[in-house]
Amino acid sequence: MMSSAIGRLRIAGMLEGISFVLLLFLAMPLKYGLGMDMAVTITGAIHGGLFILYMAAVLFVWIQRRWPVPRAMIAAVVSIIPFGPFVFDKSLRKEEEGSAPHSAIGM
């Protein structure tokens, strides 16, 4: 999986998606429900770094694989939707396996 750009994008997407879910559904309730501000500080910093890593991976795959602009935009937008990277991963897996050419939508 780490040997291809798509594989690295998939890993970055999974990590970014997990960090976003943890931020939304664990850290934020801890902050606003129990007053634990540090939960969002730590989780938010980790998520921010993983978000940048994911965007860099999207840019790299877009250039290397010559993705159409709409596909690259969808890859970027799914990162701000809870559980979006997990749904998008299905089309990335198919593309990585070579079973389906990429389409503009990719879903």
Per-residue pLDDT, 97: 86
Hey, is 50 helix, strand or coil? helix
Per-residue pLDDT, 96: 87
Per the domain annotation, does 66 fall within a domain? yes
Count of structural domains within the chain: 1
Long-range contacts of 19-22 (CB under 8 A, 24+ apart): 19/43, 19/46, 19/47, 19/50, 19/51, 20/47, 20/51, 20/79, 20/82, 20/85, 21/82, 21/83, 22/47
Per the domain annotation, does 43 fall within a domain? yes
Of residues 78 and 106, the one with the higher pLDDT is 78
Instruction: List pLDDT tens digits, range 52-89.
Output: 999 999 999 999 999 999 999 999 999 999 999 999 99
Per-residue pLDDT, 102: 53
Per-residue pLDDT, 60: 96
Instruction: List pLDDT tens digits, range 3-47.
Output: 789 999 999 999 999 999 999 999 999 999 999 999 999 999 999
Per the domain annotation, does 47 fall within a domain? yes
Per the domain annotation, does 107 fall within a domain? no
Per the domain annotation, does 30 fall within a domain? yes
Per the domain annotation, does 106 fall within a domain? no
Q: What is the domain extent for residue 15?
A: 5-97
